[in-house]
Amino acid sequence: MKFASPLQHAMLGIVHAVVFSDGEIRPSEIAWIQSVVRKHNSFRDLNGEEFAMACAEVLDEFNSAPLKVVMGRWVQALSGYSASRSIAFELAVDAVLADGEIADIEEGMLLYLAKAWGISDRERELAYRDALDRKAKGQ
C-alpha cells in the first residue's frame, strides 16, 4: 500500500538521499525530516502515521537498489513537474544545511540535481540564500 503520491514519494526520496548521502544518519536529521519536511505544504494531506510509513517506503527503496538507480528514478519522476522539482530542490538544500555543515558529497548531490533539472548556478545560489534565511528565522 502506497502512503504518498508518486510526486510526494519522489520528493521524500530526494530529501532522504541528500540527508543520508554523507554516510551518517544523525538524530537531528531524522528530527528535521519529521518536523520541517512533514509540515511542508506538499505533505499536509498525510497524517503523522502516513508520513512515517511514506518515509519507511523510501528507506525500503534505498535497500532495494543502488542509490544511483533509485535517485535516478526519483529525479525522473519529478522531471516533468516544475513546481514539484523546485520544492524538492528547496527541501534538498534545506536538508543539506540542517546539520550546519555541507559535506562534499552533499554538495555533489545538489549539483547533480541542479544539472538533471536544468537549475542554473544563479537559481542554485538563490536557493542556498533562501535556505539560509529560513534557517536563521527558524523555519
- pLDDT exceeds cutoff 80 at 138: no
Which triple of cell numbers denotes residue 82? 516544475
**What are the pLDDT digits (tens) for 57-109?**
998 888 888 888 989 999 999 988 988 999 999 999 988 887 777 888 889 99
- Cα atoms in the Cβ-side hemisphere of radius 13 Å centred on 77: 17
Count of C-beta atoms within a 10 Å radius of residue 83: 10
What pLDDT does residue 1 have? Answer: 57
| 38-49 per-position pLDDT tens digit | 888 999 999 989
Instruction: Look up residue 107 and give its three cell numbers.
Output: 554538495
**Which whole number is the average pLDDT over 24-41?**
82
Instruction: Kindly list the structural domains of the chain, giving each domain's residue range(s) and its CATH number in brackets, ordered by start.
Output: 6-136 (1.10.3680.10)
What is the model's pTM?
0.86
Closest CA to 138 of 40, 38, 36, 42: 36
